[in-house]
Amino acid sequence: MHHGNGTTLQSVIDAIKNKILDAKIQLVVSDNKNAYALTRAKKANIDTYIIKNKTTIEIDQELSQKLKDYSIDLIVLAGYLKLIGNNLLNSYTIINTHPSLLPKFGGKGMYGMNVHKAVIESKEEYSGVTLHYVNNEYDKGNIIKQTKVKIEPTDTKETLASKIQSIEKVQLIEVLQEFAKEKQ
């Protein structure tokens, strides 16, 4: 489920195409009809779906209904900012990638540049990427994997963001490879 310009999605599409990852993306879902991720999905012949509802409970019912048409083992959140409802949580394994070393710099409102700005302002020595299971609280699910990034004195929120984004993609592919192996 996507929000931004879909570079994370693209890295997964490419990993599958290049036989680095043995998986299939069944569906790309977004709550933003203009999300570039939807265009990337269409170019790769992946089904897309735009969420119509607004509240967590309505979205939960809507997606539970929609996902019944697919055989889905794993849901990956990438820049999806709403809480996930209980039907989905109880039916699927859901993971999320977060651009800090959780539990630091997580929670409501902590996404994208907000995170990097807070990290730089607090003079941290390291930031990084956390992949975690999703539960019904923001950024509180069990951690699957973390990768540290050293913060240089010259780093700005923008330079930190780009370092973290490249690591985020690598880490996600590694974790997806592990999930794929377990499925075999």
- Kindly name the residue from 2, 3, 98, 132 that is annotated as catalytic: 98
- What's the Cα-to-Cα distance from 114 to each of 54, 107, 167, rounded to whole Å? 23, 11, 18
Sign (positive or negative) of CA dihedral 142, 148, 153, 155:
negative
Q: Is 98 a catalytic residue?
A: yes
d(CA 138, CA 159): 25
74 burial type by CB count under 10 A (0-12 exposed, 13-18 middle, 19+ buried) = middle
Angle between helices 7-17 and 157-183 (to 10 degrees): 40
Q: Residue 71, Cβ neighbours under 10 Å: how many? A: 8
Parallel, antiparallel or unpaired: strands 47-50 and 74-77: unpaired
**Torsion angle, CA of 156/158/163/166, rounded to 10 degrees?**
170
Catalytic positions are: 98
